[in-house]
Chain A
Amino acid sequence: MVGLHKSEFESPVIRWIDSRLPVFTLMQKEYRAFPTPKNFNYLWNFGAIATVMLLMMIATGIFLAMNYVPNTDLAFASVEHIMRDVNWGWLIRYAHMNGASMFFIAVYIHIFRGLYYGSYKAPRELLWMIGVVILLVMMATAFMGYVLPWGQMSYWGATVITNLFSAFPYVGKYIVTWLWGGFAVGQPTLNRFFALHYLLPFVILGVVLLHVAALHITGSNNPLGIDVKSPQDTVPFHPYYTIKDSVGLCVFFLIYAGFIFFYPKFFADADNWIPANPLQTPAEIVPEWYFLPFYAILRSVPNKLGGVLMMFGSIVVLFFLPWLDTSPVRSARFRPIYRVTFWLLVLSAVALGMVGAHRPQGIWVVIGRVATLYYFFHFLVLLPILGKIERPLPLPESISRPVLGGGPLPGGVAAKPMEKA
């Protein structure tokens, strides 16, 4: 249907624009009136936080790119120039460097939030899968960004990770040469990584828009994991969640600022302050912390190709999660067994992170293998079975019932805790 949109805005200017391009109506509908369950806890902040971090990364990244030179002879020096000579260069660079870590912290919490409250289940399967795509593109972006300063760890990390593709039979060698644009990580690699590192965040931004669009079709999940039954269960997004997200953002930025200004090298590897040297392998090649669990899975498998497949598999499995989990109950609050297996999953993820930081020897090999096994066992075996054998606790009738304190709640869900949620 063509024709002007019937705008309900009072201001003539806004109405004039809105009737031709209803962006104001869109914002009004999606970010103001958007009915949102009223019982979110603070874990629901992390979507907004991740979005702001993405914008931070883009903002700081563009200013870095104005002074950065993607040339193997000049890259390291250009980052030094940013740190020492460019006005506020150190701030921009440290905000970008620590921002990557903070971004991953936010996204990982966001993901585990989804796992705990079953946010991936119908009807939010596609929303979840889009989220996994974001994670993948983020990882690619961060990996390539880490190569740009052209320190020792940049160079050797890039070499080790791209070399993984050589594990594929027959074609592996060619894939690696193709990725490098030569016979080793070098100028063509750096140049294309820079181009892609600049591009991918905008791809992420686009996918985030899809993620939010899908969210606004299904509506948000909530800590009880039950559907919204009546308008009483919800509040308009603005001002309720704009203000609550702001609280979370403030606290998150306090921590972020603490790193930038006082411990800017906390997440950094000393070796990356040494310019890349293809003739000298560092004693220890360790990826950034946010890749450690995956790196640990890779190294836990005795076979190289097997390791690569398991590593990618650990993320691919997330795409199938909505169908692997057969339980109709979303929130772990009402799933006594899943709750335990969830925390074991968290434990195994943390353990894998620690394993990834250590040489694969002695006890670390054992821990790495056990944790890897559990990770896959959780998704591929436990979740399909649990849905069949677990007896969920009785679900509350509606979101507003428990909040109103209407009678004793099943599952020991007290009304109190949510009061100030």
Chain B
Amino acid sequence: MRRLIQLAALAALSLGAAFGPASLTPARADDESLPHVNWSFSGPFGTYDRAALQRGFLVYQQVCSACHSMNYLYYRNLEEIGLTEEQVKAIAASVTVPGGVNDQGQPIERPGLPSDHFKAPFPNEQAARAASNGALPPDQSDLVNAREGGPDYIYAILIGYSDPPPGVKLMPGMSYNKYFPGHQIAMPQPLQDGSVQYTDGTKPTLDQEAKDVVTFLTWAANPEMEERKRDGVRVVLFLLFLTGVVYAVKRRVWVDVH
């Protein structure tokens, strides 16, 4: 009994320590609760849906990349979502990047290579703000990790646009979004039905586009996830086995201690 109590106390302590914070994190300033999407990548065994990743990249490339940078990704990373080397080369070559200086010391430009970082839409923060009504479109490399609620939140923002409720006055250039803290967002609604043309026959509804681009953004922020979970299964299985063996040995060693 006492042993039980001890174990329970131990469990409570570690639970309190380990699981406290999640439930303790301050509620989002916003009272609107997020829609809960059943993502292909959620849960301990989830993986990225390859088709969704590629469609999501299309959405990013054709819509979001007009305003949002994605500075930490290389074009070569796109091979991980299933694009071929040729496709990646073509995508990289479609932009021009600074190519150092020529023999006369003049700066030159060259077509992009797979080893280049994604090209940012604006040369600097000031230019980005000037083009976006004073607001700064955040870099999207880590956006999913950088928001409480992660993928669900980004998805919610994308589908959360509407006309402002009566009585709410928007500042010039702002849009109403029920999931954005404060509800006034400087990003005009980026996605509508049919914003992109999918090549795989999927119907480009707003909901579909939003889910696809969020899948892509989640991959962009956590490209190691699939490998991580795969390795995790192996490590956990190994540790379970080891625990069993070590526990058996322990029983043997202690068998004649009274």
- Show the binding face of A for B, using Cβ within 8 Å: 38, 41-43, 77, 80, 83-84, 90-91, 94, 101, 104-105, 108-109, 112, 235, 239-240, 243-244, 246-247, 250-251, 253-255, 257-258, 260-262, 264-267, 270-271, 273-274, 283-284, 286, 289, 292, 333, 346, 350, 353-354, 357-359, 403-404, 412-414, 417-421
Report if B169 contacts A (CB, 8 A): no
Q: Which of B2, B21, B24 has the most CB of A within 10 A?
A: B21
Contact A250 B243 (CB under 8 A): yes
Contact B146 A262 (CB under 8 A): no
Contact A240 B72 (CB under 8 A): no
With contacts A80-B141, A273-B142, A357-B24 taken as known, whether A251 is within 8 angstroms of B243 at the C-beta atoms is yes
B-side contacts of A274, CB under 8 Å: 138, 142, 146
Contact A261 B232 (CB under 8 A): yes
How far is it, in angstroms, between the C-alpha of A404 and the C-alpha of B257 when the chains are bound? 10
Report if B130 contacts A (CB, 8 A): no
Stretch of B47-55, B99-107, B247-255 lying at the A interface = B247-255
B-side contacts of A105, CB under 8 Å: 14, 17-18
B-side contacts of A353, CB under 8 Å: 16, 20, 24
Stretch of B83-91, B183-191, B234-242 lying at the A interface = B234-242
How far is it, in angstroms, between the C-alpha of A351 and the C-alpha of B62 when the chains are bound? 50
How far is it, in angstroms, between the C-alpha of A58 and the C-alpha of B88 when the chains are bound? 39
8 Å CB contacts to A: which residues of B9-39? 10, 13-14, 16-18, 20-22, 24-26, 29
6 example contacts (A-B, Cβ-Cβ < 8 A) are as follows: A90-B224, A247-B250, A254-B240, A273-B221, A289-B20, A350-B20
Contact A404 B258 (CB under 8 A): yes
Contact A289 B21 (CB under 8 A): yes
A270 in complex: contacting residue of B10, B44, B146, B229, CB < 8 Å: B146
Report if B129 contacts A (CB, 8 A): no
Report if B231 contacts A (CB, 8 A): yes
Contact B24 A358 (CB under 8 A): yes
A261 in complex: contacting residue of B1, B229, B240, CB < 8 Å: B229
Instruction: Report the interface size for chain B: residues with CB under 8 A from the other chain.
Output: 54
Within the complex, the shortest CB–CB distance from B237 to chain A, in Å, comes to 10
How far is it, in angstroms, between the C-alpha of A20 and the C-alpha of B239 when the chains are bound? 40
Report if B145 contacts A (CB, 8 A): yes
**Main DSSP-derived SS at the A contact region:** helix
Closest 3 CB pairs of A and B: A261-B232, A273-B146, A417-B3
In this complex, what residue of B is CB-closest to A242?
B253
Within the complex, the shortest CB–CB distance from B118 to chain A, in Å, comes to 12
How far is it, in angstroms, between the C-alpha of A420 and the C-alpha of B148 when the chains are bound? 45
Contact B257 A109 (CB under 8 A): no
In this complex, what residue of A is CB-closest to B19?
A266
Report if B246 contacts A (CB, 8 A): yes
Within the complex, the shortest CB–CB distance from A367 to chain B, in Å, comes to 12
Within the complex, the shortest CB–CB distance from A359 to chain B, in Å, comes to 7
B20 in complex: contacting residue of A83, A354, A404, A418, CB < 8 Å: A354
With contacts A357-B24, A357-B26 taken as known, whether A246 is within 8 angstroms of B146 at the C-beta atoms is no
B-side contacts of A333, CB under 8 Å: 2
Contact A286 B26 (CB under 8 A): yes
B13 in complex: contacting residue of A286, A346, A419, CB < 8 Å: A346
In this complex, what residue of B is CB-closest to A77?
B72
How far is it, in angstroms, between the C-alpha of A260 and the C-alpha of B228 when the chains are bound? 8
A-side contacts of B221, CB under 8 Å: 273
Contact B20 A84 (CB under 8 A): no
A-side contacts of B18, CB under 8 Å: 101, 105, 255, 266
A-side contacts of B44, CB under 8 Å: 262
In this complex, what residue of B is CB-closest to A400?
B258
Report if B162 contacts A (CB, 8 A): no
How far is it, in angstroms, between the C-alpha of A246 and the C-alpha of B254 when the chains are bound? 13
Within the complex, the shortest CB–CB distance from A216 to chain B, in Å, comes to 21
Within the complex, the shortest CB–CB distance from B73 to chain A, in Å, comes to 8
Report if B160 contacts A (CB, 8 A): no
Within the complex, the shortest CB–CB distance from A249 to chain B, in Å, comes to 8
Question: Would you give the 0/1 interface string for B66-86, flagging 1 where the beta carbon is closer than 8 Å to chain A?
Answer: 000000110001000000000
Contact B1 A270 (CB under 8 A): no
B3 in complex: contacting residue of A41, A77, A270, A359, CB < 8 Å: A41
Within the complex, the shortest CB–CB distance from B129 to chain A, in Å, comes to 12
B232 in complex: contacting residue of A260, A273, A346, CB < 8 Å: A260
Contact B72 A235 (CB under 8 A): no
Contact B236 A246 (CB under 8 A): no
Contact B258 A417 (CB under 8 A): no
How far is it, in angstroms, between the C-alpha of A413 and the C-alpha of B169 when the chains are bound? 70
With contacts A262-B44, A262-B232, A270-B148 taken as known, whether A246 is within 8 angstroms of B20 at the C-beta atoms is no
Question: Would you give the 0/1 interface string for B136-157, flagging 1 where the beta carbon is closer than 8 Å to chain A?
Answer: 0010011001111010000000
How far is it, in angstroms, between the C-alpha of A266 and the C-alpha of B24 when the chains are bound? 12
B22 in complex: contacting residue of A101, A243, A266, A292, CB < 8 Å: A266
Report if B199 contacts A (CB, 8 A): no
Q: Which of A83, A262, A286 has the most CB of B within 10 A?
A: A262
Q: A240-B253, A247-B247 are known contacts; what are 5 more A-B pairs with Cβ within 8 Å?
A: A253-B239, A289-B17, A357-B20, A404-B258, A412-B2
With contacts A265-B145, A270-B146, A270-B148 taken as known, whether A247 is within 8 angstroms of B26 at the C-beta atoms is no
Contact A264 B6 (CB under 8 A): no
In this complex, what residue of A is CB-closest to B16?
A350
Contact B253 A273 (CB under 8 A): no
Contact B72 A403 (CB under 8 A): no
B-side contacts of A243, CB under 8 Å: 246, 249-250, 253-254
B-side contacts of A421, CB under 8 Å: 3
A-side contacts of B235, CB under 8 Å: 257, 261
A43 in complex: contacting residue of B10, B24, B150, CB < 8 Å: B10
With contacts A80-B72, A261-B236 taken as known, whether A247 is within 8 angstroms of B246 at the C-beta atoms is yes
How far is it, in angstroms, between the C-alpha of A105 and the C-alpha of B232 when the chains are bound? 21
In this complex, what residue of A is CB-closest to B243?
A250
Within the complex, the shortest CB–CB distance from A108 to chain B, in Å, comes to 6
In this complex, what residue of B is CB-closest to A85?
B74
A-side contacts of B181, CB under 8 Å: 283
B-side contacts of A413, CB under 8 Å: 2
